[in-house]
């Protein structure tokens, strides 16, 4: 049995059909390769499809920093302890592809900014502008509301749709992979890197399971939320662990959502924000958030 679970970010309620269609498309693309190619290729296919979709806050359509630029973070990890990430990359189409190549083709874990873009050019990815008009409007809006300073980002998070994406898969051989990709927040400080690029914070996998987070990145990082979740999956079912951690995170002021799969193939999701987009697929059977 193979499983794939995807999230499309935590934030305010978005009942638009197109968001759910985006999650469904990601699940279908991921599942199409899960059986034959395995967990890593499945999470890649799912996240690539969401990075292409301008509705989601990653790749094309990423949120903009205070300077009006998209600065994207992405990471990938497998249960064989392999990890790669990029942080604060601006002019690439698919940050998640770079993260995978950092994992597979370098000795490093995280490459940021200009260094990551130089690598992208070296690997033959063309210059690409991921900025879309509606994100410029969003940035102006945030600035008008006065939410543009870091201490205020937390309360702002509760109100706005975020659209960070993540995927966790487990293949027939029991291998687990996780991928997470984001543009961060609108009006974040230039150069800011969040949990989505950090091992154990927004992304984590081990033989005991895998998890991907969305929400208030600084708090998720402080709590090493995904590491904590996966460690606990060794002894407890994913559903129990994820619900408890998300509840506790709220008590500590962390607005977030979490998805995961444990080593026995049990999938789970929970969020303490107003809403989170998510969906699962197992043996071709698709479930989307209600």
User: Cα separation of 223 and 205, whole Å?
Assistant: 16
164 among known catalytic residues: yes
Rounded to an integer, what distance in angstroms lies between the CA atom of residue 285 and that of residue 3?
10
What is d(CA 261, CA 208) in angstroms, rounded to the nearest whole number? 9
Query: What is residue 68's DSSP assignment?
Result: S
Build a one-symbol-per-residue string for 81-120: x at contacts with ligand ASP by CB under 6 A, - elsewhere.
----------------------------------------
Q: Which of residues 162, 168, 178, 206 is near ligand ASP by CB under 6 A?
A: 162
Check binding of 171 to ligand ASP (CB under 6 A): no
Minimum distance between the CB of residue 193 and ligand ASP, rounded to whole angstroms? 8
**Nearer Cβ to ligand ASP (65/164):** 164
Considering only 2, 8, 9, 62, the residue that binds ligand ASP (CB under 6 A) is 9
User: In the complex with ligand ASP, which residue's Cβ is closer, 38 or 84?
Assistant: 84
Q: For residue 185, what are its two tokens?
A: 């927040």
Nearer to ligand ASP, 33 or 168 (CB): 168
Q: Which residue is nearest to ligand ASP (CB)?
A: 217
Residue 28 sits at φ, ψ, to 5 deg, of -65, -45
Nearer to ligand ASP, 217 or 260 (CB): 217
With respect to ligand ASP, which residue has the nearer C-beta, 34 or 46? 46
Three-class SS state of 87: strand
Q: Is 8 in the site for ligand ASP (CB under 6 A)?
A: no
Tell me if 130 contacts ligand ASP by CB under 6 A. Answer: no
| Active-site position among 60, 78, 106, 164 | 164
Q: Kindly give the pairing relationship between strand 165-170 and strand 110-112.
A: unpaired
* 286 burial type by CB count under 10 A (0-12 exposed, 13-18 middle, 19+ buried): middle
Angle at 79 between CA 248 and CA 57, to 5 degrees: 60
How buried is residue 267: exposed, middle or buried, by Cβ count under 10 Å (0-12/13-18/19+)? buried
Antiparallel, parallel or unpaired: β 285-288 and 275-282: antiparallel
Phi-psi region of 124 (alpha: psi -120 to 50; beta: other; left: phi over 0): left
Phi (first) and psi of residue 10, to 5 degrees: -110, 145
**DSSP symbol at 206:** E
Considering only residues 176-215, where is the footprint of ligand ASP by CB under 6 A?
A: 182, 184, 194-196, 202, 214-215
Interface characters, 24-63, with ligand ASP (x: CB under 6 A): ----------------------------------------
22 near ligand ASP (CB under 6 A): no
Question: Considering the complex, what minimum distance in angstroms separates the CB of residue 192 from ligand ASP?
Answer: 8
Active site residues: 164
Q: Which residues of the chain form contacts with ligand ASP (CB under 6 A)?
A: 9, 162, 164, 182, 184, 194-196, 202, 214-215, 217, 220
């Amino acid at each position: 049995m193979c499983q794939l679970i995807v999230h499309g970010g935590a934030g305010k309620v978005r009942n638009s059909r197109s968001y759910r269609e985006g999650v469904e498309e990601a699940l279908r693309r991921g599942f199409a390769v899960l059986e034959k190619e395995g967990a890593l290729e499945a999470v890649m296919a799912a996240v690539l499809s969401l990075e292409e979709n301008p509705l989601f806050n990653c790749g094309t359509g990423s949120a903009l920093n205070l300077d009006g630029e998209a600065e994207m973070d992405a990471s990938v990890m497998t249960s064989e302890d392999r990890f790669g990430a990029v942080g604060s990359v601006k002019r690439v189409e698919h940050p998640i592809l770079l993260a995978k190549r950092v994992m597979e083709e370098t000795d490093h874990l995280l490459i940021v900014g200009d260094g990551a873009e130089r690598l992208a050019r070296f690997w033959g990815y063309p210059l690409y502008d991921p900025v879309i008009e509606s994100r410029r409007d969003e940035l102006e809006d945030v600035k008008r509301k006065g939410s543009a300073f870091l201490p205020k980002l937390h309360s702002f998070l509760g109100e706005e749709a975020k659209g960070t994406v993540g995927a966790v898969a487990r293949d027939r051989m029991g291998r687990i992979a996780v991928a997470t990709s984001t543009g961060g927040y609108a009006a974040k400080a230039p150069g800011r890197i969040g949990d989505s690029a950090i091992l154990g914070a927004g992304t984590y996998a081990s033989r005991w399971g895998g998890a991907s987070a969305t929400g208030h990145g600084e708090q998720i990082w402080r709590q090493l939320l995904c590491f904590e979740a996966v460690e606990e999956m060794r002894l407890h079912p994913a559903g129990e662990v994820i619900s408890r951690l998300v509840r506790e995170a709220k008590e500590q002021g962390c607005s977030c959502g979490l998805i995961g799969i444990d080593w026995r193939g049990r999938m789970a999701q929970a969020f303490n924000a107003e809403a989170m987009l998510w969906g699962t697929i197992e043996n071709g059977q698709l479930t989307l958030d209600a």
